[in-house]
Amino acid sequence: MDSELHDRSYHFLNFLPNVADFLVAKHKESTLKVDEKSLYNLVTEADLKAESMILEEIQKNFPLDGILAEEGGAIPGTSGYTWVIDPLDGTTNYTHGLPLYGISVGVVETESMSPVIGMVFFPELGTYYHAIKGQGAFREKKQIQVSQTKSMRDSLFVTGFPYDRNLSLDTLMQYYKSILQKSRGIRRTGAATLDLCWLAEGKFEGYYELGLKPWDMAAAGLIVMEANGKLTSMDGNDFSIMIPSLLASNGHVHEYLLAEFEGQINRVVY
């Protein structure tokens, strides 16, 4: 198993810079075609081409693997591994000229949907993060760890808002107000993978979000776990990329955050 994981990780850590270069070049163009999948949910020609590049590389080199991709849907496989892909996390940032976007490529065990490889590239930040289950988390070649901050008062948090935010706006604002009053502050980058990778290297103490998809969590979620962070759903259940709510933390403030959500979570429309 280890050699199979290393083969996939090594291959894509060397391939993904090609996708990153494409996205940077496309970002500089003045006529980027943008479509709406739904209110607040955008897709660009860059998303579609980047995903196509990644899918072609998987099917060429690991043809028995399954694929679950944001734009292209599911392709079954027989190897026991499934790639979970977001070719451009932070599309709204991208369309507005912001550099806060990433390429997220994870591999999960197909039967359990449990992540075993995570790779996230941030083309215009000039860095990348990666992990293999049981072998630690890394920013490029440097191993990373979550922060050791133990109090809410000294913690900085980050969050995002779901595409159907208007259905649960009051609850979202209640979360925001409650945590903001007890902490050093809350940030919003607009890219879940960036939030999680920055948590993994100690920039944030906690992250929460509703309405997530498997490709938002598969790669960066593993990176957090391998950096000794803690992941659950927002109601405290075991982490799963198939559950559309996520609470990630350095572990020390996890129970404090769960207490903030208690009594609110069942009011939310996913």
Distance CA 114, CA 207 (A): 20
Distance CA 99, CA 77 (A): 34
| In the block, residue with structure tokens 């075609």 | 33
Residue 157: in which H helix or E strand, if any? strand 156-159
| In the block, residue with structure tokens 């970002």 | 27
Give the total residue count for the chain: 270
Beta carbons of 101 and 216 less than 8 angstroms apart: no
Between helices 192-200 and 214-226, what is the axis angle to 10°? 10
**Residue 235 assigned to a binding site:** no
**Residue 238 assigned to a binding site:** no
**Residue 86 assigned to a binding site:** yes
Alpha helices in the chain (DSSP H): 2-27, 45-61, 91-95, 169-182, 192-200, 214-226, 254-261
Q: Binding site membership for Mg(2+): which residues?
A: 70, 86, 88-89, 216
Binding-site positions read: 70, 86, 88-89, 216
